[in-house]
Amino acid sequence: MAAIEPIDIVELGVADAPAGLVLSTEAGWNQNEADWRFFLSHGIVFGVRDGDRLVASAALLPYWAGNAWISMVLVTPDFRRRGIATKLVDACLDVAKRRGLTAWLDATPAGATVYGPLGFEPTLQLRRLRLEKPQGANATRPLSAGNLDALATRDSRAMGFDRSTLLSAFVARPGSRIVSDERAMALIRDGRAARHIGPLLADRADQALGLVEAIVGSESGPWLIDAVHAQDAFLEGLVRAGWNIERPFQRMRFGAATALPAQLPFAVAGPEFG
């Protein structure tokens, strides 16, 4: 197909989850089908098709207090550089504007150059780190089961708005668990290719690092974590422990901030969820 003129944008449904997974897997992302089903059932997901094939997507996931997350902006390689991603993000922004929502996203460096001219402003930065873990790891210290209500409360303070619906959906999945260790708490869940740690909340960097150490010692990897760059002691501790930085993300906001976080997390739920 030589060109798409005009681009026919459609709204996707839950039945499109397998097709969305093909797109994110092709890009090497860690989302699984359960992630796609959450976006498609709780958010607004736009796409572009070439016949029966889904070739592009973008999602808007509304949260509480007038906030929403834009993510899953994907275009299959042979349809790139045609303005499709920009048009899909514009479709998400149109919905956000009509609903009076402040839109957020976590952009790759290349994406940030696209979103800046659209009106997105940079906020904090993230670093995605990966740890390969051999089978048969032994736990360094016992982990206590965490409480969903307590996690949702701390997450709300860290984000500035409530995400209990998202966290509840994560916890309900097979393989997910909330763990705590002294003053630190985190959610662990399955991804397509690696286990993911986040959000991770703690009072101090040493508490956050101790919890990560206990987590990776309690089961085999590989692991992914999206650390807040401003938590430099935590980030440096992860690198010393053998985690490798894979890529940066720039958090960006379109619209006025509705609330300020009371305390930054040490790691987030993921660039697709905030």
Domain with CATH 3.40.630.30 in the chain: 9-123
pLDDT tens for each residue of 90-112: 999 999 999 999 999 999 998 89
pLDDT tens for each residue of 118-145: 899 999 999 999 999 754 455 566 788 8
* Tokens linked to 227: 């650390």
* Topology given in CATH for the domain delimited by 9-123: Aminopeptidase (3.40.630)
Predicted model pTM: 0.93
Burial tier of 98 (Cβ tally within 10 Å: 0-12, 13-18, 19+): exposed
Strand 195-201 and strand 121-131: the pairing is: unpaired
Residue 72 carries which side chain, given as an amino acid letter?
M
Q: Are 31 and 272 in contact (CB under 8 A)?
A: yes
Domain with CATH 3.40.630.90 in the chain: 127-254
Q: Options 3.40.630.90, 3.40.640.10, 3.50.50.60, 3.30.360.10; which CATH number does 127-254 get? A: 3.40.630.90
Task: Kindly indicate the confidence band of residue 263, based on its pLDDT and cuts at 50, 70 and 90.
Answer: confident
